Chain A
Amino acid sequence: MNVKVIEKDLMDPLAEISEVNIDLNSIPHDFEYVTLLDNTKPGADVVLEFIEENLGNRKFNWVKKPAGAPATIKQLEIAAESEIVFLALGDCGSCSSWVILDAIRLEKMGIPTVSICSDRFSLFAHEFAKSHGAQKLKILSVEHPIAGISKEEIVKKTLEILPSLRYILQIP
Chain B
Amino acid sequence: MLRKHLKFFLHFDTSYKYHESENMTDDSKFTKTSENCGCLVEDLINTKKTDSRLCEVKPNDIEVFIDPDPEKTSYDFYIRRLTDGLPIIPPTKTRVMKFLNYTDRTPDEILTVLPPQQGKAVIEKIAVNSVMAGCLPQFMPIIQHTINAISIEKFNLTSINATTHPVGICMILNGPISNEIGASSSAGCLGPGNIANATIGRALRLCLINIAGAVPGVGDHATMGSPAKYSYTFAESESESPWEPLHVERGFEPFTSTTTVIAVEAPHNVNDHRSKHAEDLLETISYTLSTPGCNNSHVPGEILVIISPEHAQTIARDGWDKRDIKNYLHENSVVPVELGDRGGRKLDKKWIVGDDVHITRSPNDVVVVVAGGSGRHTMIAHSFGTSSESVTMPILYKDGTPVQSVQDFKTKIKK
- Inter-chain contact B219/A124, CB cutoff 8 Å: yes
Whether B92 and A11, one on each chain, are in contact in the complex, defined by CB atoms closer than 8 angstroms, is yes
With A66-B345, A131-B118, A147-B344 known, 7 other A-B pairs at CB within 8 A are A4-B63, A14-B125, A15-B120, A39-B345, A68-B156, A69-B156, A93-B221
Interface contact A92-B129, CB-CB below 8 Å = no
In the assembly, what is the distance between CA of A158 and CA of B364, in Å? Answer: 42
A101 and B82 form a contact (CB under 8 A): no
* Residues of A contacting B96 in the complex (Cβ-Cβ under 8 angstroms): 11
User: Is residue B412 within 8 Å, beta carbon to beta carbon, of the partner chain?
Assistant: no
How far is the CB of B346 from the nearest CB of chain A, in Å? 4
Indicate whether A17 reaches chain B with its CB closer than 8 angstroms.
yes
State the CA gap A2–B94 with chains docked (Å). 25
Interface size on A, residues (CB 8 A): 42
CA distance A124 to B159 in the complex (A): 13
Chain B positions near chain A (C-beta within 8 angstroms): 52, 54-55, 59-69, 73, 77, 82, 90-94, 96, 113-122, 124-125, 128-129, 131-132, 156, 158-165, 206, 210-213, 218-222, 299, 344-346, 384, 386-387
| Cβ of A132 under 8 Å from chain B | yes
Closest to A14 in B: B210
Across the interface, which residues of A come within 8 angstroms of B299, CB to CB? 66, 68
How many angstroms from the CA of A15 to the CA of B158 in the assembled complex?
17
User: Is A86's beta carbon under 8 Å from chain B?
Assistant: no
By the criterion CB–CB under 8 Å, are B125 and A94 in contact?
no
Residue A13 CB within 8 A of the other chain? yes
State whether A13 touches B115 (Cβ < 8 A). Answer: no
Interface of A is mostly: loop
Instruction: Return 18 A-B CB contacts under 8 Å, by A number.
Output: A1-B62, A3-B60, A4-B59, A8-B65, A8-B94, A10-B68, A10-B73, A11-B131, A67-B345, A93-B163, A93-B222, A94-B163, A94-B164, A97-B159, A127-B116, A127-B117, A128-B162, A131-B115
Does A12 reach chain B (CB closer than 8 Å)?
A: yes
CA of A15 to CA of B118, assembled, Å: 9
Which residues of chain B come closer than 8 Å to A69, judged between CB atoms? 156, 159, 386-387
**CB atoms of A98 and B159 under 8 A apart:** yes
Bound CA span A37–B218, Å? 26
Residues from chain A with a CB closer than 8 A to the CB of B206 are 13
CB distance B92 to A9 under 8 Å?
yes
A42 in the interface (beta carbon within 8 A): yes
Query: Which of B52, B93, B346 contacts A40, CB < 8 Å?
Result: B346
- B168 CB, min distance to chain A CBs, angstroms: 14
Task: Report the Cα distance A122→B160, complex, angstroms.
Answer: 18
Instruction: Flag A91-119 by CB within 8 Å of B: 1 or 0 each.
Output: 01111111001000000000000000000
Partner of B66, one of A7, A40, A41, A128: A7
B residues near A20, Cβ cutoff 8 Å: 118
When the two chains form their complex, are residues B162 and A131 in contact, meaning their CB atoms are under 8 A apart? Answer: no
Closest B residue to A65 using CB positions: B345
> Do B91 and A68 have beta carbons less than 8 Å apart?
no
Q: Distance (Å) between the CB of A133 and the closest chain B CB? A: 9
- In the assembled complex, the Cα of A163 lies from the Cα of B354 at a distance in Å of 46
Q: Which residue of B lies closest to A15 (CB)?
A: B119
A92 to B131, CA, bound (A): 33
The residues of B that contact A121 with a CB separation of less than 8 Å are: 221
